């Protein structure tokens, strides 16, 4: 395979522009902050495990294939796309891409609703979910 050692002048200028663009730095920093907050949310408010990540996605181990399938389907029903991993040792995991703050709040709310049994897939013991009342309401509005 032969490597291409040249880049068109236009591609180079576009690349330079984006690298120097301050708004791009803000977008990247916002995504990194959302990612870290989401990992903290999963690890603090659910019985699941969110693994540390340096990417724009988080790998969440849901503990069972039934919950993994259920949550994946529930997300799709709520217009949130997640990737369910099917290969061992990741068959109990979903990959959630980190997006802007408003969409991440929606993702967190869907997790809380799902965990409280707000769907046909609700299979978690809500006593393990911090911030959920017995009737499934969210106690802590600061998701």
Tens-digit pLDDT profile for residues 130-139: 444 444 444 4
Of the chain, the percentage scoring pLDDT greater than 70 comes to: 76
Q: What is the DSSP letter of 49?
A: E
- Residue with the bigger pLDDT between 35 and 20: it is 35
Per-residue confidence (pLDDT) for residue 42, from 0 to 100: 93
The answer to whether residue 40 scores a pLDDT higher than 60 is: yes
What is the distance between the alpha carbons of residues 129 and 54, in angstroms, rounded to a whole number? 26
Tens-digit pLDDT profile for residues 73-106: 888 888 887 888 877 788 889 999 998 999 999 8
Domain count, the chain: 1
Alpha-helical (H) ranges within the chain are: 9-20, 22-45, 65-77, 101-115
Is residue 15 a part of any domain in this protein? Answer: no
CATH of the domain at 112: 3.90.1150.10
Check: CB of residue 44 under 8 Å from CB of residue 128.
no
Is residue 3 a part of any domain in this protein? Answer: no
**Residue 40: Cβ-neighbour burial (10 angstroms; 0-12, 13-18, 19+):** exposed
Is residue 136 a part of any domain in this protein? Answer: no
Token pair recorded at residue 39:
């990992």
The residue among 58, 60, 40, 38 whose CA lies nearest residue 49 is 60
The residue among 141, 132, 119 whose CA lies nearest residue 46 is 132
φ, ψ dihedrals at 59, nearest 5°: -95, 120
The answer to whether residue 110 scores a pLDDT higher than 80 is: yes
Domain that includes residue 44, residue range: 23-122
CA 65 and chain centroid, separation: 18
Is residue 133 a part of any domain in this protein? Answer: no
φ, ψ dihedrals at 20, nearest 5°: -90, -5
């Amino acid at each position: 395979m032969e490597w291409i050692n040249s880049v068109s002048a236009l591609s180079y200028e576009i690349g330079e522009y984006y690298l120097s663009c301050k708004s791009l730095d803000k977008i990247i920093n916002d995504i990194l902050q959302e990612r870290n907050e989401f990992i903290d949310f999963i690890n603090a408010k659910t019985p699941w495990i969110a693994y540390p990540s340096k990417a724009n996605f988080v790998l969440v181990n849901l503990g069972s294939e039934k919950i993994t399938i259920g949550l994946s389907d529930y997300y799709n029903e709520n217009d949130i796309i997640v990737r369910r991993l099917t290969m061992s040792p990741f068959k109990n995991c979903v990959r959630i891409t980190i997006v802007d703050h408003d969409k991440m709040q929606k993702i967190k709310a869907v997790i809380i609703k799902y965990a409280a049994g707000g769907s046909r897939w609700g299979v978690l013991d809500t006593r393990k979910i911090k911030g959920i009342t017995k009737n499934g309401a969210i106690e802590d509005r600061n998701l």
